[in-house]
Each structure stands twice: as structure tokens, then as C-alpha cells.
Amino acid sequence: MTTPTHTVTNQPPPLVGHDVYRTDAVLTEAVARHADRSRQAEIDRELSELGVSAGSAQAQRWAEESNTYGPVLRTHDRYGNRIDEVDFHPSWHRLLGHAVSSGLTDAWSRPDGHLRRAAGFLVWSQAEAGHGCPVSMTHAAVPALRADPELAAEWEPRLGAHTYDPQLLPPGRKPSALFGMGMTEKQGGSDVRANTTRAEPLAEPGTYALTGHKWFCSAPMSDGFLVLAQVPESSRGGGGLTCFLLPRVLPDGTRNVFAIQRLKDKLGNRSNASSEVEFQGTWARRVGEEGRGVATIIGMVAATRLDCALGSAALMRQAVAQAVHHATYRSAFGGPLVDKPLMRNVLADMALESEAATTTAMRLAAAYDADTEQERALRRLAVAVTKFWVTKRCPALVAEALECLGGNGYVEESGMPRLFRESPLNSVWEGSGNVQALDVLRVLQREPQALNAFLGELGLARGADHRLDAAVKDLLGELADLDGIEGRARRVVERMALVLQGSLLVRFAPPAVADAFCASRLGGEWGAVFGTLPSGLDLASVVERARPVAR
């Protein structure tokens, strides 16, 4: 008798073939809460179609291939001519094309545009995160371009188009366009006012020749870029750090001077090209006034910062979904892992973090659609607070979720290593943690209406939970003394993030979720790692809510 030696048992089925949108209760509830009721069915259909695609085996294959076979730089053609092109695997183009055709660069002109676009970004980023970089920057370029109505009229329809064309062609020959950004330089990093790239005015008004370098230029295959450069003080406009639109191809069809020196070899985000570029007499159009570069580009930065929070929320949701799915079908020590009290505590703790991230990010996306003075003031403070906290919680959560799969989670085939490598990125890009904390301090000191809007949002949950009320009171004590606050800025911003999340969950989440969040994050009944929630909570309901498919 032959004894089988390789019978596969006790392995979970692949998490594939499901609707990433409709199986996410937190996200579907957020859309229902913030969307106009008359458009609810239309938005749900749109997001469900995207969710089915995101959960498909095809999308998972595209993600694997685009990361395994990353971008390749071609600086010259066979004859020695400089071409500075980046080649991508076809799966990258499929992912990016699907994102564009699904409206993920189109938020500024559609009803509920920011809400539906943010939900779609959160859904589709769970398929693959790297291509979200050009998607995000293309979407975010619009508010900066609106500093120049003529440029906005020319480019905005292309940025919001639902067609994708990867060819490098003159702008007039393409119905759509992608945008990148170049601010960071070697000597300055986050201190963009230390930039040394020069912009010399040309004869045609509003045009300049740029000379210098960019240490990080994102998505170098794009059609256009927003960059910062120094205009001489002798310029008729007064000079100083100024924002420019740099087209990749000039109207006459010739390539602009855009010398890609190398692609960055990054920890994660390997499907996406990040580069160093040199400008030498590179033609560009001014956007906004001379010397107002930071003020002009800040609208783009704010939008990309919200996308950092959305991207981290997507990674967290996917990590939790994978962990809960695995624990549902994997048995150990006499029963399914999901039913073991200690594993349930870990899963519920991660689910709370994921729900808080999604709920907060979607609330801020809705604030863009409302666009009242109150909502703009709220965004000014809450986006930086949320970007700081959500992106920092992401690596710890993804690492814990990976551990829930045991050794299987450490193997590339599981997809968890790619999530883990991606997890620190959003905290670093578009301003690291200290930059966000300092930005919050500047707003607190200079824009009292932003703090009033933030406190007004918290006030909507006043009296609903005593732990939340106590945490808000403690925060007000911290904010009463701004002297020497820089050294404790991270502590202050962390508290602001937690009370904001707590206030939203108390208002909108099921009681089991709100109770567990307030007990742990605000009530002090929590440890330093996931899985330290206090006893007496309804953790089974929290885990069940996070399940990606029916048990």
C-alpha cells in the first residue's frame, strides 16, 4: 500500500474572485453616508465594477508581473541619440489604463467627484499600489494649474480624461495626459526653498529656460510635470521660488530637454519609476506668480497627501482582509484560527485600525466635494494630521497581518511581502512625519479658523462616549500652551488624529467598533502591539465586519 506524502490540506483557498468594494462594509457605508442620495446607485455600480476587477485573478497577475518586471530606463537609441524613455511591462500599462478609464484621475468636475474617486482609488490600490503614483499626481495637479486659468483650460480636460495613451506626443495630439512632479533636490530634501534649479525668463512672456537637477522626479514617463525653480531677483516679476509646467514634448513635436540620469532602486513601489533628472535650458511655462511657487503647488501637495492616507488605508484593508481570510480557513490546536481568543484579539485590533483609517480618509474626501469655507478650513488641518498618523500605522499593521499567515506570509507567492515593502512609502512621500507635524503647528499658530473647524468636527460627537470627551479635554490642555510645542509636536498630532478618528467612529461605526476603539486608543486600555485589546469587548463582531467574503 502506498501512503500519499503530498496531500495538501488545511490551506486556505486563494482570496480571489470577489468584489473588493461590496465586501468592504466600512467603505460602502462611507460612500452611502457622504454621497448624494440621487447618485448612490450609479456610484455603487461604478465602484462595484472596479471592485470585481480589483479582486480578480487577472488583476493579481498584472500586479505580480508589473513588480517582477519593473521599469527599465533607455537613455539613448541605437544611434546614440538621447531619448530618455522608460519601458514598462505590459501589465503596468493595463493597471494604469484601467485606473484612468475608471475615472481615478477625474474628481474636480464630476458631482461627488472626490468621494467616488477616493473610494475607487482605495479599491483599485488594493490590486497594486505602485501605479497609484502617476494616478495621484495627475489628479492632484489640477488645483495648482488653476492658478493660471489659461493653462488650466488647456490641460485640465486632458488630466480628467478617461482614456490612456502611453505615447510621448505633443499635447495637442493627445486627448489625455499624465502628470508628474519634481520638487526635491539633493541639497534640500523637504526644504524646497533651498532649491538651486534656475529659471531664466525667455522672450515670450510666461516662458522660461530651466537649468538644474531634481533628486526625485516621480513618474518620468508622464506628459507634463510641475516643478519648482528659482527665478533671478532681477526678473521683472520679482523673482524667487516659482512653480512651472514642464511639458515632456514641445508643441512642434521635439522632445524637451529632460535627461533622466537613473531610476531609483527602491525598497518597494518597484513597479513605478522614480528618477533623477537634469534640466539644461529646458523649456517651461510659469504657473502662478513669480516667488509664489510653494503657495501655487501646495494645492497639489495637499491632494497627494490625502492620497497617501487613502493609499495606506488601502494597504491596511488588503492586509486585514488577507489575515482574516487566512484565519477563517486555517485550523490549529483543534479549531479555526479565527475562533481562537488570542488570534481574534489580534484580528479585531487590526480591523479597528483599518476602519478608522478608511472612515477618516473618506470623510476628508467628502470635504473636498462640499468645498465650503468650513470644510476647507477642516481640510487644511485634518489632512496633515491624518496623513501623519494613518501612514505611520500602516507598516506595523501590515507586519502583524503578515505574521498572521505565519511562514506562508513571508513567502512572495502570498503577496504579503509586497504589501510590507510598500507599507512605509506613504509616510515618506509628500512630506515625512516631521514635515506633517510641523505643518500642523504652523496651521495652529497662523490659522485659527482651521482649529475651530477641527474642534467643530469633534464637537459633533460630544457626549457620546466619556473616553472620547476626556481625550478631547486633554488635547485642549495640550493646545493651550504652544510655547516649546515643537519638541512634542508628534505627541500632539497623534492625539489629534486619535480623537478625530474616535469622533467619527462614535458617530458612524457600529457600537462594538466604537466601543473597542475608544477603550483602547482613547481610554488607555491598550498595549504597544496589536492584539492587546481589553476583555469584555465584542471582538467577534469586529472581526466579522472585516471579513472579505462570507464564511
Indicate the pLDDT class of residue 62, thresholds 50, 70 and 90: very high
Distance CA 453, CA 466 (A): 22
Of 159, 192, 207, which one is at a domain's C-terminal end? 159
Of 525, 463, 458, 439, nearest in space to 497 by CA: 458
Of 292, 319, 340, which one is at a domain's C-terminal end? 292
Number of domains in the chain: 3
Instruction: State residue 90's pLDDT score.
Output: 98
**Per-residue pLDDT averaged across 501-515, rounded?**
98
Distance CA 535, CA 346 (A): 13
pLDDT in tens, 237-286: 899 999 999 999 999 999 999 999 999 999 999 999 999 999 999 999 99
**What is this structure's pTM?**
0.97
Residue 3 lies inside a defined structural domain of this protein? no
Q: How do 240-247 and 259-263 pair as beta strands? A: unpaired
Place of cell 537637477: 213
Residue 17 lies inside a defined structural domain of this protein? no
Do residues 233 and 328 share a domain? no
Do residues 326 and 284 share a domain? no
- Domain encompassing residue 220: 171-292
- The rounded mean pLDDT for the chain is 96
Instruction: State residue 1's pLDDT score.
Output: 60
Distance CA 158, CA 154 (A): 8
Q: Which three cell numbers stand for residue 519?
A: 477603550
Residue 282 lies inside a defined structural domain of this protein? yes
pLDDT in tens, 441-492: 999 999 999 999 999 999 999 999 999 999 999 999 999 987 889 999 999 9
Residue 259 lies inside a defined structural domain of this protein? yes
Residue 164 lies inside a defined structural domain of this protein? no
Indicate the pLDDT class of residue 191, thresholds 50, 70 and 90: confident
Instruction: State residue 481's pLDDT score.
Output: 84
Of 129, 159, 189, which one is at a domain's C-terminal end? 159
Distance CA 401, CA 398 (A): 5
Instruction: State residue 5's pLDDT score.
Output: 82
Do residues 155 and 218 share a domain? no
Instruction: State residue 542's pLDDT score.
Output: 98
Do residues 476 and 534 share a domain? yes
Q: Residue 214's beta-bridge partner residues?
A: 277
Indicate the pLDDT class of residue 2, thresholds 50, 70 and 90: low
Do residues 315 and 391 share a domain? yes
By 3-state DSSP, what share of the chain in percent is helix, strand and coil, each rounded to 5?
A: 55, 15, 35
Distance CA 394, CA 416 (A): 13
Indicate the pLDDT class of residue 19, thresholds 50, 70 and 90: very high
Strands (E) in 197-328, as ranges, are 198-201, 207-218, 224-231, 240-247, 259-263, 274-287
